[in-house]
Amino acid sequence: MTPPHSPATGTLMLDAVLDAETLYKELLRYVQQTISPATQLVGVTSGGAWLVERLQHDLKRSLPCGMISSSMHRDDFSQRGMSAGGQTVLPFDVTGSDILLFDDVLYTGRTIRAVVNELFDYGRPQRVQLAVLVDRGGRELPIHAEFAAARLVLPANQSLALARSESGSFSFQIKTKAV
């Protein structure tokens, strides 16, 4: 089944194929079964940070959550430039922490490599695990998620991103790059 096109943006809408809200509920169940009271939740800007904000609310957690940026450790900085996304905010001591890291989509592994480098700039955690909504394969580095709510294969010229509405609900978008 081919997802319908949004005529205004040229973006493919995946709601009919991949329901982000259903995948979020799977992620929430996984987190409820996995975390300890001391586990620190950290989201990669922006999709992962959105997930952590909502998880924090749904889990009624009082521990502060973190947000981490990959922009300072990207190996493709010359191609991508400085990201306009948020900056790293880790309101807890990273050293010795049990960290559950979240991202919306895992693809090449380069963002997660950069994020782990950034995380170690703040200290040495006891353990870091990764959870994602979608693992789309295509790994270029030996990085894997402990949990992925879905697995999806897309052509290399397409990107998948989490979108958030004003009401806070999630959806996915696929963008196709000209070849």
Structural domains of the chain ordered from first start: 21-74+86-157 (3.40.50.2020)
- Take residue 28 and report the two structure tokens written for it: 């929430």
Q: Which residues contact 108 (CB under 8 A, 6 or more apart)?
A: 138, 139, 140, 141
- What pLDDT tens digit does each residue of the chain (179 aa) get? 334 444 444 444 444 458 999 999 999 999 999 999 999 999 999 899 999 999 999 999 999 999 999 888 766 555 545 555 679 999 999 999 999 999 999 999 999 999 999 999 999 999 999 999 999 999 999 999 999 999 998 888 999 999 999 999 999 998 998 87
pTM over 0.95: no
DSSP code per residue over 16-51: TT--HHHHHHHHHHHHHHH--TTPEEEEETTHHHHH
d(Cα 115, Cα 77) in Å, to the nearest integer? 14
